């Protein structure tokens, strides 16, 4: 799982307004190999809940996987 936690001094609520209280936020970091063979990373920070971070991670992994499969199918048609 590519979700990490970090402590912040001024956490935001679900509306994006600063609460003035410390808390925990979650970050998503995904490493992948692009269709051209280069190693790349994707990062998005500041999710209020672990559930939100996990949903975003699954969504991005799906998009990356579909993108790689589409590019692979294009290369197989050209060859």
Per-residue pLDDT of 20-55, as tens digits, reads 999 999 999 999 888 888 888 899 999 989 999 999
Task: Tell me, yes or no, if the pTM score tops 0.85.
Answer: no
pLDDT band at 1 (very low <50, low <70, confident <90, very high): low
| Confidence category of residue 77, pLDDT binned at 50, 70, 90 | very low
Q: How many residues does the chain have?
A: 79
Over residues 8-22, mean pLDDT = 87
Predicted confidence band of residue 72 (pLDDT cuts 50, 70, 90)? very low
């Amino acid at each position: 799982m590519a979700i990490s936690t970090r402590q912040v001094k001024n956490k935001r609520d679900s509306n994006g307004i600063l609460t003035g209280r410390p808390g925990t936020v979650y970050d998503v970091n995904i490493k992948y190999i692009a269709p051209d063979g280069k190693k790349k990373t994707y990062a998005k920070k500041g999710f209020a809940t672990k559930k939100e971070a996990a949903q975003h991670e699954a969504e991005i992994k799906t998009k990356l996987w579909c993108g790689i499969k589409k590019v692979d199918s294009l290369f197989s048609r050209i060859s």
